[in-house]
Structures are given as structure tokens and as C-alpha cells.
A and B are shown apart, each in its own frame.
Chain A
């Protein structure tokens, strides 16, 4: 439409006016935008730059290699193995179910873990690798690798996992690691960020647990640049962690293996301790039955765990240090030394044993119903006369006996990196008043005199006691020889404050136990003149013999159900002239100390002294054929060579 010039002029005027109005408004808006930009970028820049760096940099932990555990000769007891896992990355896989089905034709998949993995994949970001199969074999890894083209997003990954090459032998000493649990995190006050890694392996039992801090090492860190969804873009910085320290224990692998095999041979449930008399090194700490610690490493199945829990012979317990048993007659040396020290008796002084004594209206029987007749100190040990000790215990009193017991290492917790080290119990009058709410009776002292009643000791404590009697010095047990090659010095062993003559007479009694004509353990003597054994048997009752039972005649142990039979104990050292090792054996409900425990102790002692299976000539000639047959039944491990490089491996 054609406009008049006037219209055109009006139109231009309007448009110009309106354009300037809106233009002004636009400028205002642009000014606002610029001001906002300035506010964000200049005034608040520091705040946002900080936020930006947090956004960008993420710190990941690098788990350190756990310290290795060796025996005294450098045999590997606990190592790390490469653990192949099959991992799935969801975003690369396509359809999960098809991929898993395809994978299942190549790799043995645990249905439970597969289901868990699929659930986890759906929950997590699509690029996070999720483990679908753990501890895959090399063949399986190879199969997956070969088929990689048809398995996008599925691949093998390698990590370190604990392994115990010797299996059951060291389960109780070395212990085991397991995946850290929520329960662990709550219980232990440990700020180490490593514990936040899912399924990070921490020590749960034994040395693994007690030396956790030493073995674990410290985490390395990896600074990585991540994007908003957490995908790693690149590594900015890497600080390697410090691997855990290697631990060398005092135990001897071959001896430990022998101890475990020998204990298991004819006992359901037994324990033994072999200790160096001089420096306190524990050479073997055996406990049977045992278990396979490797089962715990990745989390034990509840079926396996329940089986271990329900086993009446308690395979999970390290009875050598955790078990607390009445020491029985092995306690008699303590009482004898107390009486000698207090001067209430002379070594030659004779006490008449009629088979029992009467005290406060009760009859206390000697194990030998007919009595031992006239008994001096050596004979009291040799034939284990109870009446002799009923008498001298009453003469010195419980407090003096307790003091001597503690001097010999009983009733105290020895500081060892093992789980559940028992304190044992050496009763006092105050203890009974406070804990039992009753006054100490004379009968209690009489019972304590033969290591019954309230007295409780662990096999480890008995070993320390024997070592102290044998050496005359306050030897303390030691389990860790070196950390990362640096030796842990043995604790000083000051001489015991005991008259050497008194110790000599007690040792003489212990020698007579094996070599005296009526020695209770004569059957278990060592024939080798250079390796004479000294020891003491013990049979501790776990039940009261009622008067009715006594009237009917004491029931033979073999006729009782297992859990009501006596515990069999034997403490020993050898060679008699120059003590080197002490061996303590406790067979739970094993029967008599002389028949059940002493033969085992002798075999262990001979193995320890020889460093291998002893020649049959070490045994009395009448027993050699029997021993050959016994050796043939032993289930021993083939010799294990020490690992190369005793330092870091």
C-alpha cells in the first residue's frame, strides 16, 4: 500500500521512539547481565575456583601390599597372590543378561555372586567395573581374554589377595585375614582410609590380627581428574604406598607340621608348645584339630563356618594359648619349690603316704589307693604322690604357692601377638572372697597343692614354667623374631630368685619321672644318652568323683564319654644336662598324662632336637618297632624350602 509522505514520517517517528525505548531497556538488561557476570567471575571467583578444584580432583587409594609372614628359616607362611577377577563394565556390555549367559559358558559362575553382581551393576554408574567372578583360574582368564571380541565390557582384572600356602598348620598362629566388615569398622578405632575400601582384607585372627598395623602398611594415593559422573579422565599424581612390614616368626615350619600331625594322630583335641629354653623362642604352637585359613580370606560360607563352630573339638580355638586347664600334677614342681624356699621341708625329709589324708572332715585321696609309703621330694615327683603335696601345701599356704607360681610365669598373660592369650588363674584368698563370695578353705589349698581346684593354666604358661625351672632364669616367650629384617631382641631373662640347689633337686625329680624305676612316664623315656628327657606328667580331673562312684570302684577313663574323661598333660625339657627345648603337651580328655601326653611330648622333643624325624635308636629298643609303625602313619608335609630373599618378596 502506498503511503502519503506524512504517514511515512509518522511511522518513522513512532518506530524511532519505540526503538529507542526498547533499546534503552535492552541496554539495561545487558548491563544487568554484565553486572551478574562480574559478580560471579570477579567478586565470587575465589569461592567458585575452590569448588571447581574439588569438582575436578579426586583422590583414590592404592592399597599397599600386605607384609609377608615367614617362619624362622624363611619359609613363607602367609603371602600375597595375584587374584584374577572377572569384571563387567555395564556401559560397554550391552544387554547384561545375554552377556552373563555368554560368560557362563566360559567361566564357572557362582549363581549367588552373579545375581549380586547384576544387582550391583544396575545400582552403580554404568562405567564402574563390577566383579562377577573372583579367584578365576588362569584357564578361565585365558578363555575370557581369547573371546574378548565377543565379550565387550568383560575382562580380567588383577589384585592381591592373601594366601596361606601351608594351610591348616599355621591357622592358629598366623591366623587369617578377611574382608573388613561393618562390625569391624564400628569396633576398632582406626582412621585408616584403607578400611573404607570395600572388601579390603584385614587381620581377623592370630598374628594377622595382632600385628595388623605392622603388616598392613600405609595407603598410596592416586590423584585423578574425574568428571561429574566420576569417570577417570587422567592421573595427575601418584604416591606409592608403603608396603606392610615383613614379619619373621620364631616358629619352625617343619616342627610345627610335625607337631600338628603328631597331635592329630591319636588325639581328638590336643595342643602342644615347643619353646627354646634359652631365649624363649616359640618353635611350635600346635593345636588340633585345625582349619584352613584360606577359606576365610574371601569371606567364609556360613555352611563351612557353622561346621567349624559345631565341631565339638573346637577347631577354631588355639588351645595352646587360649585353653586354661587345671595343671594337675604338673603343678607339683611349683608347690615343691615353694616348700623348699619357705624351708618347711628338707629334700630328704620323708612323709608317709597311706593313700589319703583327712582334713576338715573330708578325705583327700592319693591317686594310688594303697599309698606310696615313705616319700621324699624326688620320689614325690617321680611317682607323683598326692599326699606328699597335700601335706606341704598346707604347710606353706596358698599365698606363698601363688607367689611362686607367678614367678614361674603362671597366672599371667604373656605378651604374644596371638588371639585370646589366656590369663589362667592362680587363686588367692582375696580372689575367692571377691569372685566367689566365700572364704578360702583348707580343702582349697589341698586341692591347689596337686594343681586341681581353682588353679588354671594354659599350655603356654606350663611351657614357660618348665623353661624357667630348666634354665633357672625368667625366660619370656617370644614369637616375632624380626620385622622387615630387623631383629626384635629377646627380652632379658634375669635369674630367678630361687636357690639353684632347690631347682636342681626338682630337676632331679623330673629326670626320675622318666628314668626312675617307678617313674610315671618311664615308658616315654629317650634312650639316647645325649638327649635325656626330664618331665612331669599330669592328669587333671574334669569331674568330681562322688563317694558312690568311689565305693563302686573308680570307673576307668576309657569307659567314660569323651567330654568327661581326664585331661592328659606332660611338661618336659631336654637334654636334661643342658636344657635346650621344653615341650608341653595337653591332650583334652585324653586320659592319663603318662600314657596319652608323654609319648607325644617325647616324639616332638626328639624331632625338635634332631630337626627331622629322629632315628629309631633314640627310643628304648622295646619300642622301636612300634615307633616305626607310628612314624609310617604320620601325615607329614614334604619339606618346604625357604623362600628366596628373606627380606622383601
Chain B
């Protein structure tokens, strides 16, 4: 049995596990969530409704979920990795069939008590199943082409389903998260180099093909790219988000306008000010110092996860922790880059800060897994 490789004797049991949780991580998560509450309160014009209060309730629920998941031994999670992945796939198919359209894409599954976004769940499930795969796979086979096919298929299936919704942001996060786990597992750098070169070539081809007979993208898609590269082309249309976001950010300066003093976000210049663009509120009201502080908190979370992973001698636990940390990293990095006008606007929330149920709960579930791996790691005594 696989759990034999964990040194059970040195693993805390029962309620004593609480002491072995990574409490720094817990504190960091609470700090980031608190920033979110403040911002949602401010965006609502100094009111707990309609965003801050539900967000707090969800975070409390998420905290509970994290502890429950953390208490459950990590080997249990490894054994249900495949099942979790299958469940996520089924949900993605379901959303395709009976899902509710929100923000122009089919993403939601109404469960009665909450609206679930299966694509969020898929991110964690994918990391789990890939970690389990590479834990099972003999180390010498990791870079063999044939053994690359299963993980590629595992990444490809949910990605294809998410793209159909269409949700480009989540699809990219899935590919990046899955790719990261493959990278950590030791897949030869040659493959990653090849993919990078291929990707660059594809981008060049896309641009070169424009206006020719074999044009690769539709005209409106080129239009979006143009708008991203030069938002002033369409200041009231698609470029509007980027321009307004930069104005809000830039007007913050070093120290910002002060809590609840932000004009740009509060006055609805920014659409989705409480979800994807909430970082602009922070940056406007607390300036560079506020923005940099949040960034530091995020980096600290990553660092704690990496340290935890490196101290864990179990392959599944390490890969799982690093994969979840990487997914988390992609979340905030892409969101911030988007808000700052570095990448096109794709729907990626700012983790733990943006208003939204699914992403919050799924992330807390993910950190629960990280805690589980942390608590149940083999301890040398």
C-alpha cells in the first residue's frame, strides 16, 4: 500500500494536526482576503453590501473547507485524484449542456445553493491528477515521448471544453498549471524549449498571415489584438477597459488617494470594478505602496508553498503543492498584468480579492490540499 511510504509514526494524528498546519500561510491568506474585504467595502461606496459581506461569508466557508481538507491525510487525496479529475470533466460537460451564460460565456452551473464554475474546479483537479500520474510514473520514463501523451491528453481535454465556453483565460491557466507540474516532474527541458519556439513561430505566423489568403485568425480577432497593442484606437470600445484601468492606477501615485477616496473605480469608470479589475481600486486608493504590498503578500504565499514543497520528500505532495502554488501565481500575475495593460483583457480574477464564490472556494480547497501535504509530510526525528 502506498501510504506505507509515509512515515506514519512521525505524522501528527487527531486534533494535534492543528499545531502542524502551516500557520504562516493561513495568516497570509487571511491578510490577502482582508485586503479584498476592504476593497469591496470601498467599491460599494463604504458599504458591506452588496459585496463585502458575502465575500466574508464565503471566505469563512473557504477557511473551514481548507481545514477540513487539511485534516484529511494527503494519501487519501492522492487516491481520489483520478476521481476528482473525472468529476471536473463531467461538470465541464454538464455546463456545456445546461450551464448558465454569464458575461457572454457559458460558465456557471446552478447547484441551487450556489453557482459553481466547474472550470475553476478543473484547475485543481488537473494539478492533482498530474501529480498523481508523475508520482506513479517511474522516474526514468518521465521524458519518454510515449509517457508524455497521457499528461498532454489530461491537460488537453478540460482545456478544449473550457475553450468551447469560451473562456480563454481559464484555458491558458489550465495549460500553464498543467505544464508547470510537468516541468517540476522533470520532463526534459528540450520539450519546453521546443514548445516555446513553436509558440513563437505560431505568433509570427499569425501576424504574417494577416491580409493574405491563408489568414489564420478572423478579422475581429486581429482587431482585438490591435486594440490591445494600442488602446487609444478604440477608447470607448474594447480599449476602454485598458485605458480606464491605467488611468485609475496611474492616478494613485505613490501613496494613493486614501481609503474610500478613489474616484475612478467608485464612479463606475471601470466596469467589473469589484471582480477582475479590483486591483485598480487598491492601486488608486493606496497607490504604489498598496499595490506593491499586495504583490509582496502574494509572493510570500508562493514562497511558503515552495519551501513547504521542497521540505516534503513525498513526490505527490511536492508536485501538488508546487502545482497549486503555480496556478495561484498565474492567477495574480495574469490579472495584474492585464490591469496594467501588459496583456490583453482575459477574464482572470485577482485571487482571494476579487468578488466571486467559485474561485474563492476552489482556491481555499487548493490551499487545503497544500496544508494536507504539509501536515502529513514525513518527518525525520
Measured CB to CB, the residues of A under 8 A from B are 1-3, 7-8, 10-12, 14-16, 18-19, 22-23, 26-27, 29-30, 32-34, 36-38, 40-42, 44-45, 47-49, 51-53, 55-56, 225-229, 231, 233
Contacts and interface: CB of A to CB of B under 8 A. Distances in A.
Nearest to B236: A228
A52 B263 contact: yes
Contact of B288 (A26, A41, A47): A41
A45 B254 contact: yes
B242 to A, nearest CB: 12
Interface string B291-310: 11001001100100010011
A225 B139 contact: no
Nearest to A13: B186
A606 to B, nearest CB: 71
B318 A37 contact: no
Interface stretch (B24-32, B335-343, B363-371): B335-343
Contact of B267 (A8, A14, A225): A225
Nearest to A47: B250
A33 B269 contact: no
A22 B180 contact: yes
Interface on chain A toward B: helix, strand, loop, or mixed SS?
helix
B379 interface: no
Interface string B69-110: 000000000000000000000000000000000000000000
17 contacts: A2-B5, A7-B139, A10-B139, A11-B186, A15-B310, A33-B295, A37-B336, A40-B340, A45-B250, A45-B251, A45-B254, A51-B251, A52-B263, A55-B269, A226-B267, A227-B268, A228-B269
B329 A26 contact: yes
Nearest to B240: A228
Interface in B264-288: 264, 267-270, 283, 287-288
Contact of B291 (A41, A56, A227, A229): A41
A56 B342 CA distance: 25
Contacts of B263: 52-53, 55-56, 225
A119 B337 CA distance: 42
A223 B337 CA distance: 35
A19 B295 CA distance: 20
Of A26, A32, A44, A226, chain B has the most CB atoms within 10 Å of the CB of A26
Interface in B112-130: none
Contacts of B162: none
A4 to B, nearest CB: 10
B287 A41 contact: yes
A26 to B, nearest CB: 6
Contacts of A231: 268
Nearest to B142: A14
Interface in B249-268: 249-254, 263-264, 267-268
Given A15-B315, A49-B251, 11 more contacts: A11-B139, A15-B186, A18-B185, A22-B326, A23-B306, A30-B333, A41-B283, A41-B288, A45-B254, A52-B250, A56-B267
B326 to A, nearest CB: 7
A2 B264 contact: no
Contact of B253 (A2, A7, A45): A45
A48 B247 contact: yes
Contact of A1 (B2, B247, B270, B336): B2
A41 B139 contact: no
B268 A48 contact: no
Contacts of B4: 2
Given A19-B306, A41-B252, A55-B247, A33 B318 contact: no
B184 interface: yes
A261 to B, nearest CB: 61
B241 to A, nearest CB: 11
Given A1-B2, A47-B250, A48-B251, A14 B186 contact: yes
Given A42-B254, A51-B247, A19 B184 contact: yes
Contact of A33 (B248, B310, B340): B340
A40 B136 CA distance: 47
A31 to B, nearest CB: 10
A38 B288 contact: yes
Nearest to A21: B183
Interface string B1-38: 01011000000000000000000000000000000000
Interface centre among A42, A44, A48 (most CB of B within 10 A): A48
Contacts of A26: 302, 329, 333
Interface in B185-209: 185-186
Interface in B132-169: 135-136, 139
Nearest to A37: B291
Contact of B251 (A1, A12, A15, A52): A52
B55 interface: no
B250 A48 contact: yes
B324 to A, nearest CB: 13
From A3, A10, A40, A53, residue with most partner B Cβ within 10 Å? A40
A37 B302 contact: no
B313 interface: yes
A226 B266 CA distance: 11
B171 interface: no
Nearest to B250: A48
A44 B250 contact: yes
A23 B302 CA distance: 9
Nearest to A5: B313
Contacts of B315: 3, 8, 11-12, 15
Contacts of B249: 37, 40-41, 48
B322 interface: yes
A37 B186 contact: no
Nearest to B289: A41
A15 B139 contact: no
A138 to B, nearest CB: 38
A161 to B, nearest CB: 34
Contacts of B224: none
A231 B266 CA distance: 13
A3 B253 contact: no
B354 interface: no
A297 to B, nearest CB: 37
B30 to A, nearest CB: 21
A33 B252 CA distance: 16
A525 B216 CA distance: 102
Nearest to B4: A2
Nearest to B270: A228
B318 A18 contact: no
